[in-house]
Amino acid sequence: MADKPSTGELFGVPYNFERPSIGRMLSSYWKPDEGMLVEKPFGIGYTLNLANWRSWIVLAVAGALLWHERKGEQGQMTAEEAPVEVVVDDD
């Protein structure tokens, strides 16, 4: 029985299931000569290249959206806490 490869591409999506090392993890997230997306050091797909300025914009937008969502949750009442209006018809 042949061993399955631990790295490669499937339908154009890269995968890597080799045991990760600290050096490989750090070097895969900081590649100054690459684009915004780089292959993940472990798993399937791509991740952000933190050496690219566009990645920091993506992280800032995601952080702002998360902050806005959490800020909005603080001031909203749940359905159980909201006041109920009762209308009585005397006909």
Report if residue 86 sits inside a domain: no
What is the pLDDT averaged over residues 48-63?
Answer: 95
Q: Assign 53 to helix, strand or coil.
A: helix
User: Which residue, among 49, 42, 51, 36, has the nearest Cα to 15 in the 3D structure?
Assistant: 42
Give the Cα separation of 33 and 22 in Å (integer).
20
What is the pLDDT averaged over residues 78-83?
Answer: 74
Q: Assign 50 to helix, strand or coil.
A: coil
Domain tally, the chain: 1
| pLDDT value of residue 48 | 94
Report if residue 28 sits inside a domain: yes
Mean pLDDT of the chain: 86
CB within 8 Å of 58: residues ≥ 6 apart: 36, 48
Q: What percent of the chain has pLDDT over 70?
A: 89
* Residue that is written with structure tokens 């050091």 in the block: 41
Parent domain of 51: 7-73
Which DSSP category does 59 fall into? H
| pLDDT value of residue 66 | 94
| pLDDT value of residue 71 | 84
